[in-house]
Copies of this chain bind each other. A is one copy, B any other.
Amino acid sequence: MQVRRRIYDGVCRSGLRRRARITEGSRLPTIRDVAQHAGVAPSTVSYVFNGSRPISDETRRRVQEAVDALGYHPRASARTLRSSRTHVIALALPRPAGQRNAVDGPFAIEVSDAAVRLGYDLLLTTSQDKAEGLRRVALSGLADAAVLMAVDMEDARIDVVRELAFPAALIGRPADEDALPWTDLDWEEAAALVVSELAAAGHREMVYLAPTEAEVVARRSYALRGIAGATRGARSTGAAVTVAHAVDDPAGLARRLRVLLTERADGGAGGRPTALIVQHPSAHHHILTSVTDAGLRIPEDLTVVVIGALPGDPAGRRLPRVELPVETLAGEVTRLAVAAATALHETAAGDVEAGPRLLADAVGHLLIAPALLPGDMPLTAPRA
């Protein structure tokens, strides 16, 4: 405190300030204040901070001391303006109001944590218009890279970031797998795995509860791939798998399940379904209640398996499930985004075409193989 006062009174610069702008009062210290306090040039202080040139121990110590004494913290905007690095990652979470998804929050928090670990902050953009919000963030230079959630098979944002040569990585596997780096659970394999395990356990009739129809119509990647996997599993095992779309309203879901699970009487392999596979994230929590509401007992009447369950957030009783490795996916996608940003920045100077080319080359993927975890309930078919 005393130190600060001394500085603001003593040297030429502050006197200059005082006279120039007496009305503004105390001001946060700048790099020049630090330099002056340490008796070095501002550039030297900068080098101490970002280590881009060698600094003697003595100078480093004096600068550090000045920083501590003044409580100096660099202004992000000034840093960014000059260096064109923001140290911010944008998380594009284009969820129309009312279409909440149980995984959004956990993903956002995990991405934020991962970003912090890499020295980045997270800008959360929840634009209705998926592409436009992202374009704005990129053009105004608010972030160095973007992490895209809720990825569609053909996602408009992919074109946007490629056109702008903006570093981005996806949580979700788009149709064009080489367009951008991405990470995802192998939903198709997960669904196929669950179907075949259930078939092996004796189930012949199953219901696959996919995400809502809206998600499918939007061609959301995980929804289509899950359904594809279920279909493939049915083909390869010979089991009958009815694909149904979830509804967000639990009462409606219970009604739909009743129809699907009890009143079903088509000319298939005969009996009613003995297994229910739930891929809809928002249904995980209350699926047991909905099933109960539909008049079915678990496991006596029905085996229930969940795909995409959040680790550590089990749906009441622990059902057999394929978990969504949120932390791994979030960590990796953040790493990919940061890597793309770093690479772009390092080679951007001096080569016009380097940026886009680089971004196109640097695509890495992480496709996580599904594992079927046991729950308290057996997989075995009731009648098997």
Residues of chain A touching chain B, judged by Cβ–Cβ distance below 8 Å, are 23-26, 28, 71, 73-78, 80-81, 86, 88, 91, 93, 95, 97-98, 100, 102, 104-106, 108-109, 112-113, 116, 121-127, 136-137, 139-142, 248, 250-251, 282, 285-286, 288-290, 292-293, 312-318, 349-353
Contact = CB atoms under 8 A, between A and B. Distances in A.
B314 A250 contact: yes
Given A74-B140, A91-B124, A93-B109, A251 B352 contact: no
6 contacts: A74-B140, A76-B142, A77-B77, A112-B125, A122-B125, A250-B316
A112 B149 CA distance: 15
Given A26-B352, A140-B76, A104 B109 contact: yes
Nearest to A135: B73
A123 B122 contact: yes
A95 B292 CA distance: 34
Contact of A81 (B78, B351, B352): B78
Nearest to A354: B25
A236 to B, nearest CB: 33
B124 A112 contact: yes
Nearest to A83: B77
B113 A97 contact: yes
Contacts of A313: 100, 282
Given A109-B95, A315-B286, A317-B289, A123 B88 contact: yes
A75 B140 contact: yes
B316 A349 contact: no
Given A81-B75, A106-B105, A140-B76, A121 B123 contact: yes
B109 A116 contact: no
A126 B141 contact: no
B141 A24 contact: no
Given A78-B81, A121-B142, A350 B116 contact: no
Contacts of A116: 126-127
A256 to B, nearest CB: 14
Contacts of A124: 91, 108-109, 112, 121-124
